[in-house]
Amino acid sequence: MTALPESIRQAWEDRNGPVVLATVNPDGTPNIIYVTCVGAFGEDRLVVADNYFDKTRRNILAGSKGALLFRTHAGKAYQVKGALEYHTRGEIFDDMKSWNPPQHPGHAAAALRVEEVYCGAEKLC
């Protein structure tokens, strides 16, 4: 696990538009979705609300690693890679419920533990 550097935290706060979440199933088939209900937790996790996951949920529960791709208002793209956790209760789940819009179910919180961060081909951490 790697703490997000301050510059990446600022980029995350300045993200523009939906975020892309990628997972893979046990056979190696990728699954990519757009997500808009996202947040950060602590220094080393980015969180996605499971409002309508299907394949993504199955992939996470099967042990998939993941990647999040986001862009800033200035058009800079960042990719964050790491292990995925699936929380249906506890501190991360409760935090997700505090920012997830009430019109969405918020079944669980998918937390990506930061291992690597890239901006284009440049590895930042």
Q: In this structure, what CATH number is given to the domain that contains residue 17? A: 2.30.110.10
CA distances to 27, 28, 29 from 46, in Å? 25, 23, 23
pTM, entire model: 0.94
For residue 94, is it within any domain?
A: yes
For residue 1, is it within any domain?
A: no
pLDDT at residue number 27: 97
Structurally, the chain folds into a number of domains equal to 1
pLDDT at residue number 57: 98
What's 90's DSSP letter?
A: S
pLDDT one-digit tens code per residue, 28-68: 999 999 999 999 999 999 999 999 999 999 999 999 999 99
Helix (H) or strand (E) holding 69, with range, is strand 65-71
> Would you call 71 helix, strand, or coil by DSSP?
strand
For residue 37, is it within any domain?
A: yes
Q: Which domain holds residue 60?
A: 6-123
